[in-house]
Amino acid sequence: MADVNPVLLDEQLCFSIYSASKKFNHFYQSALAPFGLTYPQYIAMLVLWEKAPLTVHQLGERLELDSGTLTPLLKRLEKQGWVTRVRSQTDERQVLIHLTEMATTKRDEVYSRIGQCQTLLGMSSEEIDSMMTELVTVKQQLDTVSNDRLITKEVDRVN
Amino acid sequence: MADVNPVLLDEQLCFSIYSASKKFNHFYQSALAPFGLTYPQYIAMLVLWEKAPLTVHQLGERLELDSGTLTPLLKRLEKQGWVTRVRSQTDERQVLIHLTEMATTKRDEVYSRIGQCQTLLGMSSEEIDSMMTELVTVKQQLDTVSNDRLITKEVDRVN
DNA sequence: GACAATTTAATTGTATACAATACATTGGAA
DNA sequence: TTCCAATGTATTGTATACAATTAAATTGTC
């Protein structure tokens, strides 16, 4: 353990991203307060507004969330009148998430609100594209290294 | 509500960041499994390894977390032997977080492990610097727009 | 020097995340 | 046809996050 470099918080990309993620969530959650949507609820609605109905599994694939997170989240969305949860007729294991009339009605109001937020942020599409491209690269790397279930052994081997 | 643009999940920078953040947390949490540290616990240790003792408040400023999150997190770190929580003599309102001997001993092992993870990710310092610079800009914008408590009114005014 | 305003942690309540488990259903193999 | 592995959802348990409240200690002001 002779040649070890210190790990400084301010130099960690992970923390920069972690911190930005929390700020974004807070930003949109505030902006959507009039609709009573939390950030995860909002992105779930985004997916459903693109295409509904979807099964819990399909929704989870888009959001990268599992049923342990989605089941209670969707129950809250149902209680607040955004969606209905219906057991599939053709496959009783599946639960189909449908939009309510209220959700369809409010869609454009939410879209509009988000559009205004994006304007406020004042980022050019070039800036946004550039960041998203870089993020895709990082995420691919993280997936590759993580899905490689050898991560523990790989790291140990470097020792 | 005539001229509303659809909001597509895959075009949202916030989701890209949110998703990357979760992947990073999972990546480091796996890598640190031998130490039993979660990601938030790990970044708390990073700060304390830079400078300890710190009050809960000082730690929270660095991590952008409040006592509602930190108090239970620090109790878990204490239970696992990484830190001690000591009521300040000079100001009884404050709780000082000290490193244990074990934490000091294990510091370089953790630093080394993280260094290996960074190597596995294979990003150049230029790539990392570029992303972090862009993230700083986004975060500043989010802070500016959020701290501006007029956000709701501003947005409404656009209507 | 009393005391209201402020500061600091802790607590409470709600909402994610996610691993692990349980459970029902389904589709296919024997 | 019967059984079994796979699939899809729900549940359980642990650990964040964070707003709001409480409680204790300190400070500024007269």
Helix axes B13-31 and B101-121, enclosed angle (nearest 10): 120
Q: Domain check: are A98 and A129 in the same one?
A: no
Q: Is residue B56 part of a domain?
A: yes
Would you tell me how many other CB atoms lie within 10 Å of the CB of residue A144? Answer: 12
B133 and B118 fall within a common domain = no
pLDDT over 70 (residue A158)? no
Residues B64 and B21 in one domain: yes
Q: How far apart are CA A52 and CA A98, in angstroms?
A: 6
Contact B72, B29 (CB under 8 A): no
Question: Are A85 and A24 contained in the same domain?
Answer: yes
Tell whether B4 is covered by a domain.
no
Q: In chain B, how many domains are there? A: 2
A77 and A47 co-located in one domain? yes
Pick out the nucleotide with least CA–C1' distance to B71.
C10
The answer as to whether A28 is a domain residue is yes
Q: Are B20 and A15 an interchain contact pair (Cβ–Cβ within 8 Å)?
A: no
Percentage of chain A exceeding pLDDT 90 = 87
Q: Write down the pLDDT at residue A145.
A: 87
Q: What is the pLDDT of residues A103-136, one digit of tens each?
A: 999 999 999 999 999 999 999 999 999 999 999 9
Residue B140, H or E segment: helix B125-147
Which residues of chain B are under the pLDDT cut of 70? 1-2, 147-159
pLDDT digits (tens, 9 = 90+) for B75-87: 999 999 999 999 9
- The values of phi and psi at residue B2, to 5°, are -85, -45
A141 and A81 in one domain? Answer: no
- B79-113 burial string, b = 16+ CB within 10 Å, else e? eeebbeeeeeeeeeebbbbebeeebeebbbebbbb
Domain that holds residue B49: 9-122
Residues 6+ apart with CB under 8 A from B148: B154
Do A115 and A132 belong to one domain?
Answer: no
**Coil, strand or helix at A113:** helix
Q: Which two tokens stand for residue A40?
A: 């995860």
Q: Can you give the CATH number for the domain in which A25 is found?
A: 1.10.10.10
Residues B111 and B140 placed together within one structural domain of the fold = no
Residue A40's nearest CA partner among A3, A73, A78, A89 is A73
Q: Do B23 and A123 touch (CB under 8 A)?
A: no
Instruction: Give me the DSSP letters along B60-125.
Output: HHHHT--HHHHHHHHHHHHHTTSEEEEE-SS-TT-EEEEE-HHHHHHHHHHHHHHHHHHHHHT--H
A45 CB inside 7 Å of strand C? no
Give me the amino acid identity at A52.
A
- Please state the rounded mean pLDDT for residues A3-20: 96
Chain D nucleotides close to protein (CB under 7 A) are 7-13, 15-20, 23-27
Compute CA A129 distance to the chain's CA centroid, rounded to the nearest angstrom.
18
Please indicate, yes or no, if residue B2 is contained in any of the structural domains: no
Cis peptide leading into residue B34 (ω within 30°): no
| A155·B28 Cβ contact <8 A | no
CB pairs under 8 A between A and B: 211
Confidence of residue A22 (pLDDT cuts 50, 70, 90): very high
Q: How far is B132 from chain A (nearest CA, A)?
A: 6
Mean pLDDT of chain B: 92
